Amino acid sequence: MRSVWVTRASIARAYSTQVQPVISSTLLLSRNPIITQEPSSFEKQFYKYQNELWRRLMWTFPSWFFFKPGTVAEQKYRKLNKPATPDNPNIEFPRGRPELRHNRDRRFKQTISVPKSYEDKKGETNAASETDDLARKIVPNSRITEADLKKDLASLERKLSRTLYLIIKEKGSNTWKFPNFNVPTNAEEVSGLHVVAEEGLYKIGGEKINYFNVSNTPCHVFNNLQENKKEYFIKSHILSGIFEPQESVAEFNWLSKEELKDVLPAEYYQDVSHLLNNV
C-alpha cells in the first residue's frame, strides 16, 4: 500500500492551494443493521420457488420414528394429518392416479402439521403468565419499531435493517452535515485525526457513547474549497449508548443512505456516496 501512496503523490499535489488549508477530521458514525436485510420482491419470489422445489423433492417424513405407534402423541398426529386418498381401481382419477407410499402421495410435496406445544388461550390475556410460561406461543418481535411508526429520525431504533449515519445541524447553520472538527494547530503535541474525531464526538454528543473506531487511517478526503478546508473522513461504529446533543448542536438525525441523498448538498453527497453502505 505504501508504494501506491508514493506513486500517486504527484496527483495529490493538484489539490494544494495558495493559502494553507485548514485540516479537519469528519466523523462517519454509523449504526450497523440489527436485523437482516429486507429481500427484494425478486429475491422473495426466487426463494419461494426454490423452497417449493425442495419440498417437492423431499423424502417422506418417517412419522413412525418420531411418533411411536400406540402413543397419545401418535393419536394427535394422526388426527391432524388425515391419510391421503388411496388409489382405488374402481374410481376414475382425471388428474392422475395417486401413488401412496407411507401415507404420502409421491407425486406432490408432503405437508405435515405437528401438534401444538402450547394451549390456545383466546380472550385470556394474562400478562404475567404470558411472559413466564415456558409453554407459551413464541411470537417474534416486530421488524417495524415504534420509532418507525412515529417517524422519529433522531432515534437509534429506527430502520433496524439499515445502516444509519449520524448527521448534525450546528447552531446558527442551516445545512446538515457529518460532524466535522478542526485539528488544533497551536497544540504542543499533535493528535491524530482519529483522536480529534473521538474527542469531538464526546464534545457534541456527551460521553455516554460506546463506539468502535475502525482505523486511524482516513478513508476519504473532501476538499471544501468554499471554506478552504480539507476534511478527512474517519469511520466509526456506535455500539451502544445514547447521543445527547450538547450546546453546539441544534439538531441531529440518524439517516440511511437514501435519506442522506435528499438531505445533504448534492455535490457533497456525490463525493462521499461510495463510503456509505447500501444495506
Partner 1 sequence: MFKSFAKPQSSSGVLTFIRGKRISATNPATERIVQQLSVLAAGRKQPKLLNLSNEDIVKHRTIMSAWKLFTRKKKRAEQEQLNQQYESICNAMNDLKETSPALFELASHKEKRLRFPLEMRFPTEYPPNRPWVYNFTGPVKKRK
Site for partner 1 in 145-204 (CB under 8 A): 145, 156-157, 160-161, 183, 190-195, 198
| CB distance 228 to 21 below 8 Å | yes
224 touches partner 1 by CB under 8 A: no
| CB distance 213 to 236 below 8 Å | yes
CA distances from 129 to 11, 25, 116 (A): 69, 53, 18
Scan residues 41-60 and list those touching partner 1 (CB under 8 A): 42-43, 46, 49, 53, 56-60
In sequence order, the 6+-apart residues with CB closer than 8 A to the CB of 71 are: none
| Closer residue to partner 1, CB minimum distance, 156 or 166 | 156
Residue with cell 489539490: 15
Amino acid 77 reads Y
Scan residues 21-40 and list those touching partner 1 (CB under 8 A): 21, 23, 32-37
Q: Tell me how far, at minimum, the Cβ of 21 lies from partner 1, in Å.
A: 7
Amino acid 32 reads N
| CB distance 4 to 160 below 8 Å | no
249 touches partner 1 by CB under 8 A: no
Scan residues 65-94 and list those touching partner 1 (CB under 8 A): 65, 69
Q: Tell me how far, at minimum, the Cβ of 100 lies from partner 1, in Å.
A: 10
Task: Name the grid cell of 103.
Answer: 401415507
| Closer residue to partner 1, CB minimum distance, 29 or 160 | 160
| Closer residue to partner 1, CB minimum distance, 92 or 207 | 207
141 touches partner 1 by CB under 8 A: yes
Region binding partner 1 by CB under 8 A among candidate stretches 72-80, 141-149, 167-175, 245-253: 141-149
| CB distance 165 to 178 below 8 Å | yes
Q: Tell me how far, at minimum, the Cβ of 168 lies from partner 1, in Å.
A: 19
Where does residue 259 fall: left (phi above 0), alpha (psi -120 to 50 degrees), or beta otherwise?
alpha
Task: Name the grid cell of 178.
Answer: 457529518
User: Which of 27, 167, 209, 260 lies at the binding interface for partner 1 (CB under 8 A)?
Assistant: 209
